[in-house]
Structure 1
Amino acid sequence: MTLNFREFDKDSSDDSSEDDSDHEVSEMEQGVIDSSVDTEEDDENENNKDDQNSSDDSEDEVVKAIKAEKNKPRDHPPSIKTEDFIVDICFHPANNIIAIANIVGDVLLYEYSNDETNLLKTMELHLKACRDVEFDNNGVTMFTTAKDKAVMATDVESGKLKQCFENAHDEPVYKLFPLDCNKIVSGDDSGTVKLWDLRRQDPIFTIKIGEEYISDMITNDAQKYLVCAGGDGMLTSIDLKGSKIFSRSEQYDAELTCMGLFRSETKLLVGSSVGKFYLFNWKEFGLHSDEYIGQKHSIQCMIPITQNIVVSSGEDGILRAAHMFPQRQLGVVGQHSLPVEALDISHDGQYIASCSHDNDVKFWNISYFESIDSLIDVNHKHNKKKDMINNLPSSNIKNASDFFSGLV
């Protein structure tokens, strides 16, 4: 921010003198005139000083405001920059650790705090690009998959391989979803879903649900149905206990890219490549109950923050928050200069992390959402266009109106 201040120059030049031959002035009269001139000069000097002080005060307030912003205590970990393209990230479910999967097949484990991030270990797991990294619910085992078609289970503490399903699929595996410490579901590029148990080599079942890639998979606590989103624009649910397809949705005119559960797992939100959200009632996966325009660009990833609030991102690199019941935009949580590939939320709910095509991972403190959620007046009329670009407390960019409000 550049502020221009007007400079006041003191007038030190004397007025033109009178010719003594034309005007004779007595000593007393001269003394009165000199006294008057001195008084006027003193008054002018005082006025100039007052104006200068006023300018200095304004400048001091701006400087103070800028310094206050810079000196605020850090409320999120510093960013992580890597040498290789980041494909996926996953927070540990119990500790301050984040896993970063990259395009050369490695997984990097970082420990994070508000002050720093430290690389704990680098695991060279796959021969080709990693596609997905996930922890089990206890954080003991880390599951990974890659373009090399392998599904691996690795002990987090020791880094030792616990299980490896080589050539788990005929096509590269795109997505994993852990069910418990031993069972995991995998979906590949050609629409095949498999359920695995680490205690055996062969899959429990194999189901072909489509022809396109499986972009995301999700289930609830009951784990009766597994819902799969696909590149073919269809939502397919699988009866896990019956090992069969439960239902298929209508075919949408875009790829279905990501999913999240809300309202005590009674609502399923699905993002798409055309920037739309589709809302489904749980177990009613054939047709959505509502739809929203989330953004103009493709929604690549989403993460539920509260029972009502979702943060999503994608091609434009902007992390946006929205209240879904009823739907309204809340504003910008953060931003990257390039498209965002993945989002995740920390075990304590204090941070979300995002990775972009710029080979970086950024952290955002979103603890304020817990208090904001209950205060949002969803029935109040809002300016959607303004809300879409409103910068929330976690964003690195300040709203100009908010910044200058303290200076008025």
Structure 2
Amino acid sequence: ALAFGLDFHPTERLLAAGLITGQIRVYSCADDGASAERRLGAKPHADACRSVKFSPDGGALFSAGSDRSVQRRDLETNRPVWKLRAAHASAVNVCTPLGPHGVGTGDDEGAVRVWDVRQRGAVMRFDEHSDVVHDLHFELPRLQLASCSSDGHLSVYDLRKGRLEARSDELEEELLCLAPLKGGKKLLAGSDSGVLGVFSWGDFGDFSDRLTPARKPPGGRLTTPGGAEHALLFASADGVLRAASLHPSRMLGEVGRHADPIEALAVDAQGALAATAAHDGTVRLWDVSEAALGRRAARNGGRAEAETED
């Protein structure tokens, strides 16, 4: 079945998948990514499970779905310990943990909500977007939450003060995904045009830089390997997972490919193993260690297959 969401456990080689059937699966992955064994299964959602995220301590799994529900599931007992059946007015597209007790969610109509699992109602409500919220990124040291949307805007919320901190100009392209770079000093945004935009944290009016692949594959998902200062992975609607470097700005090569568009992408905490899920119903594991990416860059001959602009 098609997986809409993927996430790796923060300390163990476990991979969670949220399926179109409303089910979740947790797999134990071999260190080399050659195999995976199912460890846990459940059906927390009546409709598609669109997003899954492990809690920071790895003891629970958050999930959000088209049925408008959000829940936190204890992994030891495989039972929900917190659940909201109608958390939003429309399908919940994304969730992300916010420290030990919080979770942020975004829906198909542009609403962003912040929840405390010790309470029932939303503790913060933001309605800055006019279209589907595709991704959320929580920057813990700053206690700020960023959201991106099909309306072409990035919004950043100050969770200490419970208010909008910044909003980008309309960028004339759908923003589909977010990933931090350089220890949170930069924030990457993937777009439907295939351009990867770079925001400098605190300066969110427009991109400070752009990485434009020469072939400009249609946008999809984006992530940065754990501990990598400049490397990034992006998965596209052409079914290809690619690696790139931001400084210097160049493509490191193709990591792997599916026959159909890639829907979800995750990388483990060590930055050594990536997982992709595609419309062909498969989930695949890839070696994205520093050594493996270095070999791909060498095979690529160091060709500058990307352009940047200030």
The TM-score normalised by the length of structure 1 is 0.70
Q: 1:381 to 1:311 in 2, by over 3 A?
A: closer
Q: 1:223 to 1:157 in 2, by over 3 A?
A: farther
How far residue 118 of structure 1 moved from its aligned partner, in angstroms, is 1.4
- Work out which of the residue numbers 262, 267, 275 in structure 2 matches 1:345: 267
How far residue 370 of structure 1 moved from its aligned partner, in angstroms, is 8.1
SS in 1 for 2:294: helix
Q: 1:371 to 1:337 in 2, by over 3 A?
A: closer
Structure 2: tracts of 5 or more residues without a match? none
Q: What is the CA–CA distance in structure 2 between the aligned matches of 1:383 and 1:147, rounded to whole Å? A: 41
Are 2:252 and 1:335 equivalent residues in the alignment?
no
Residues 207-356 of structure 1 correspond to what in structure 2 (within 5 A)? Answer: 207-294=126-213, 295-305=215-225, 306-356=228-278
Q: Whose radius of gyration is greater, 1 or 2? A: 1
Are 2:23 and 1:101 equivalent residues in the alignment?
no
Amino acid at match of 1:140: G
Is this contact kept in 2: 1:141–1:181, CA < 8 A?
Answer: no
> What's 1:153 paired with?
72
How far residue 301 of structure 1 moved from its aligned partner, in angstroms, is 0.5
RMSD: 2.0
> What's 1:34 paired with?
none
> What's 1:201 paired with?
120
- Work out which of the residue numbers 178, 190, 195 in structure 1 matches 2:97: 178
> What's 1:132 paired with?
51
Which structure's residues are more often strand, by fraction? Answer: 2
> What's 1:392 paired with?
none
For residues 161-190 of structure 1, what are the alpha-carbon distances to aligned partners after superposition, in whole Å with 9 as ceiling and x for unaligned?
100011001111111110122100111111
How far residue 97 of structure 1 moved from its aligned partner, in angstroms, is 1.3
> Which segment is superposed worse, 183-192 or 293-302?
293-302
How far residue 119 of structure 1 moved from its aligned partner, in angstroms, is 1.4
How far residue 120 of structure 1 moved from its aligned partner, in angstroms, is 1.6
How far residue 360 of structure 1 moved from its aligned partner, in angstroms, is 0.7
Amino acid at match of 1:108: R
SS in 1 for 2:122: coil
Q: What is the CA–CA distance in structure 1 between the aligned matches of 2:27 and 2:304, rounded to whole Å? A: 40
How far residue 326 of structure 1 moved from its aligned partner, in angstroms, is 2.9
Is this contact kept in 1: 2:3–2:264, CA < 8 A?
Answer: no
How far residue 335 of structure 1 moved from its aligned partner, in angstroms, is 0.8
> What's 1:384 paired with?
305
Is this contact kept in 1: 2:69–2:92, CA < 8 A?
Answer: yes
Amino acid at match of 2:199: F
The TM-score normalised by the length of structure 2 is 0.91
> What's 1:63 paired with?
none
Tell me the percent identity. Answer: 27
Q: What is the CA–CA distance in structure 2 between the aligned matches of 1:383 and 1:109, rounded to whole Å? A: 39
Report which structure shows greater RCO (CA 8 Å, sep ≥6): 2
SS in 2 for 1:299: coil
Are 2:3 and 1:86 equivalent residues in the alignment?
yes
Q: What is the CA–CA distance in structure 2 between the aligned matches of 1:199 and 1:206, rounded to whole Å? A: 17
How far residue 218 of structure 1 moved from its aligned partner, in angstroms, is 0.8
Q: What is the CA–CA distance in structure 2 between the aligned matches of 1:286 and 1:94, rounded to whole Å? A: 36
Count residues with an aligned counterpart.
299
> Which segment is superposed worse, 346-355 or 302-311?
346-355
How far residue 371 of structure 1 moved from its aligned partner, in angstroms, is 8.1
How far residue 224 of structure 1 moved from its aligned partner, in angstroms, is 2.6
Q: What is the CA–CA distance in structure 1 between the aligned matches of 2:247 and 2:205, rounded to whole Å? A: 21
Amino acid at match of 2:127: K
Amino acid at match of 1:382: R
Q: What is the CA–CA distance in structure 2 between the aligned matches of 1:132 and 1:371, rounded to whole Å? A: 28
For residues 53-79 of structure 1, what are the alpha-carbon distances to aligned partners after superposition, in whole Å with 9 as ceiling and x for unaligned?
xxxxxxxxxxxxxxxxxxxxxxxxxxx
Is this contact kept in 2: 1:178–1:185, CA < 8 A?
Answer: yes
Q: What is the CA–CA distance in structure 2 between the aligned matches of 1:369 and 1:156, rounded to whole Å? A: 33
> What's 2:281 paired with?
359
How far residue 205 of structure 1 moved from its aligned partner, in angstroms, is 1.1
Q: 1:122 to 1:324 in 2, by over 3 A?
A: same
Is this contact kept in 1: 2:177–2:191, CA < 8 A?
Answer: yes
Is this contact kept in 2: 1:316–1:338, CA < 8 A?
Answer: yes
Q: What is the CA–CA distance in structure 1 between the aligned matches of 2:293 and 2:67, rounded to whole Å? A: 45
Q: 1:168 to 1:280 in 2, by over 3 A?
A: same
For residues 182-208 of structure 1, what are the alpha-carbon distances to aligned partners after superposition, in whole Å with 9 as ceiling and x for unaligned?
100111111111110110101111111
Q: 1:322 to 1:202 in 2, by over 3 A?
A: same
Is this contact kept in 1: 2:152–2:174, CA < 8 A?
Answer: yes
